[in-house]
Every structure is written in C-alpha cells, then in structure tokens.
Amino acid sequence: MLEGFNEMDALAERGFVPGMSKEERENLARSENLAIRISNIANMVLFSAKVYASVRSGSLAIIASTLDSLLDLLSGFILWFTAFSMQTPNPYQYPIGKKRMQPLGILVFASVMATLGLQIILESVRTMVSHENDFNLSKEQERWVVGIMLSVTLVKLLLVVYCRAFTNEIVKAYAQDHFFDVITNIIGLVAVLLAKYIHGWIDPVGAIILALYTIRTWSVTVLENVNSLVGKSAAPEYLQKLTYLCWNHHKAIRHIDTVRAYTFGSHYFVEVDIVLPSDMPLQEAHDIGESLQEKLELLPEIERAFVHLDYEYSHKPEHASTYP
C-alpha cells in the first residue's frame, strides 16, 4: 500500500510516472515487434517440417500436432492484425481507441484452438471405433520423425523463453502458444513411439490427450479475456491508489464521492466524482478537474479517465441503473 502511495506522490510531484524513458519504450516496442515476426517465421518453417513428419509417420497424434501448427499460422495472422490495428488509430471511427482489439484477437485465437481440439477428439474416437489405428514405422521413418519432432520442440522451447521476457499481452500469447507446442510435440512423439512398440491404439489416445489439453488451456484464456471486455472492477488496492491520488490532487477538494476503475480491453476506464466548494468559479473548478484527468491518464494501466465535479455528495448516483 505504501509503495502504491509513494508512486502516486511521485506522479503528483514530477508530473510523470517513474519508469522507462521514451527511447526505452520505443526500443521495447521494436523488440516486441521482432518477437512477433520471429514467432511467425518459426511457425511457418516448423509447420513445413511437421507436415513432412506427418507424411512420413501417418500418426494421428503427429497429424494433430501438425494441424495445431497450421492454426498457429492463422492465429499468428490474427494477433499480428490486432497489433497492427492498435498502432493505426482513427479518432473519427474509433474515438476511444482500439485497445479492445487485443483481447478480442486473443479470444478469436483461443476459440479456434478450442475448436481444433474438439475436431481431434471426434476423429480419434472414430479411428479407435473403426480399428484403423494399426501402423508400422520403418527404422528410417522413425529416425526422421524423432529428429524432426525433437528439433521442433527445442526451437519452440527457446521461443518460450524469449517471448516470456516481454509484458505485452500479444507477445505473451505467443509464448503461451509456443509452450503449448512444446507439450503437444512431446506427447505426440511419445504416443507414436508407444504405438509402434506396444499397441496402435495409443496413437489416437495420445491425440485425445492433446485435444483435451488444447480445450482446457484455451478455455482458461477465453475466461481471462472475457473479464477484460465486460468491465470488471480493478482490485481494491488499485482503487485505493487512485483515491489517494485524487484526495491529494488539490487542497480545494472537499470530498471524494466515487472512484471506479473497470476493464476496457487490456486497460482501465476510470470514473471519479469529486466535490468542490459550491461558490468556486467555473474556470477554477474546470482546471482542477482537467488536471486531475490528465494526471490519472498518465498511469500506464489507464486508457481514459472521466472526472465529474459536484458541489455536494448527498444526491443519488447519476447512473442509477448501475446499482441493483
């Protein structure tokens, strides 16, 4: 709590939030774009390698992993498009910005991945019921499949470490996808080897395990991003920081009626109601409210702030429909 208050005091005294300089932020943005490009290129190359492994093995588990890589390319395009859209503002058609493009893109991404998982389950069950799960790998095919899958897994593991170093949500989505690929590649390879040396039914079972993991992982992602779109309130600790900042903004503030912060995409919208003396000139009251709005919008988590000025706080809430 004290750390949060110190941060607000620094904002009030210096006029900016202590942190990275403009040059550092630009360098970070370039690094994030580079991470996205590297991920897309790697997905294209690794998809080609896994197509070859699928043709070589005929394994349903490997094919499921390859279809996942195909959707990685589609999902990568979706995430790239959302990042590009957010960087090209249009104040006339999108007056409050495009920050909600980010969770929306991730929602589309997650929905596609979950759909893939359901399709794999259906195909695996059909294969087991029809007893079409017998396949044999020659020694040469086995070497090719193992070599390709291990190489793909190693590259994906390196990309996980690289992308997790960033705080950007889109890059973090790539990191999650790369980690998911590491898991699916390992399960797919183990399923193929067990199916070869023990019994063929292990291959579709491995594909079902991959599918269930897919659905579970991306269902969690969907729920997280739905919360960011429906206007969920910020944590009490964050509201406490905002209240502290508002109260210490100007000595003329008599009372703080309301402080709200709720999700609007990846950032917060903030609504603040402050009470000023009833005889204060409009010009002075306006300057106090506007400077508070500008100060709130300096916080990196806040997309927009709205400051309402009032002369008393005993009236009913302006937006009565918000309350039960």
Q: What is the dihedral of CA 102, 108, 109, 115, to 10 degrees?
A: 160
Evaluated on CA atoms 21, 87, 307, 244, the torsion sign reads negative
User: What average pLDDT score do residues 200-227 get?
Assistant: 77
For residue 317, give the amino acid letter. Answer: P
User: What average pLDDT score do residues 102-119 get?
Assistant: 75
- Residue 293: what pLDDT? 94
Q: Are 270 and 242 in contact (CB under 8 A)?
A: yes
Q: Does residue 324 have a pLDDT over 60?
A: no
Nearest to 236 by CA among 264, 207, 261, 266: 261
Q: Does residue 280 have a pLDDT over 90?
A: yes
Q: Does residue 250 have a pLDDT over 70?
A: yes
Bigger pLDDT: 306 vs 56: 306
Please tell me the distance from the alpha carbon of residue 119 to that of residue 97, in angstroms, as a whole number: 36
- What is the phi-psi region of residue 94: left when phi exceeds 0, alpha when psi lies from -120 to 50, beta otherwise? beta
Sketch the domain layout of the chain as residue ranges: 17-228, 236-322
- Residue 256: what pLDDT? 92
- Residue 282: what pLDDT? 94
- Residue 117: what pLDDT? 76
Top-ranked range on mean pLDDT: pick from 68-72, 120-124, 158-162? 158-162
**3-class secondary structure for 5-21?**
HHHHHHHHHHCCCCCCC
- Residue 161: what pLDDT? 87
Bigger pLDDT: 234 vs 62: 234
Q: Are 284 and 275 in contact (CB under 8 A)?
A: no
Nearest to 134 by CA among 65, 208, 189, 59: 59
- Residue 321: what pLDDT? 55
- Residue 260: what pLDDT? 92
- What pTM does this model have? 0.60
For domain 236-322, give its CATH number from 3.40.50.920, 3.30.70.1350, 1.10.3720.10, 3.40.640.10: 3.30.70.1350
Q: Does residue 323 have a pLDDT over 60?
A: no
Top-ranked range on mean pLDDT: pick from 174-178, 297-301, 317-321? 297-301
Question: Among 39-53, 123-137, 212-226, 270-284, whose mean pLDDT is lowest?
Answer: 123-137
- Residue 307: what pLDDT? 94
Q: In degrees rounded to 5, what are phi and psi of residue 167?
A: -100, -10
Bigger pLDDT: 278 vs 113: 278
pLDDT-derived band at 281, boundaries 50, 70, 90: very high
Q: Are 12 and 136 in contact (CB under 8 A)?
A: no
Nearest to 312 by CA among 283, 277, 281, 288: 277
Any idea which fold 17-228 has?
Alpha-lytic protease prodomain-like (1.20.1510)
Nearest to 290 by CA among 266, 274, 314, 267: 274
